[in-house]
Structure 1
Amino acid sequence: MEITIKIDKRSKQAKVFYEYLKTLPFVELEEPRYNKDTEKAIKEAKSGKATKTTLEDFRKELYS
């Protein structure tokens, strides 16, 4: 069974709780490598939802 817990590590109590969880042998922590938007873009690219474009076309879209 897996349980997902989201911890806002900005508070002192949350930091202490997070550090405690890391000491438990049956707890596996996964932290995203990037922010949510970047993680979503990576998943889309891997699943083939991304579109290919040339650098020239990309610049045209970017600056128009």
Structure 2
Amino acid sequence: METLIVQPKNKKQLLAIEAVLHALNVTFKKEQHYNAKFIDEMAKGEEDIKKGRLTRIEDVQNIWESIL
């Protein structure tokens, strides 16, 4: 048979697609292209940025002095 590659844009779409496949008794498998821990770390980093938990470096010529 054929293989379909589906790329939902969000969790809501993913859940809807899975529900339809279950209802039609279609077998499927989910694959992640990234390690789950990596995805969690990226999400945490984005949340930190939104909350202002970051370090801004104004003078890149003296980057090491800014950090230390």
Tell me the TM-score normalized by structure 2: 0.33
Tell me the TM-score normalized by structure 1: 0.35
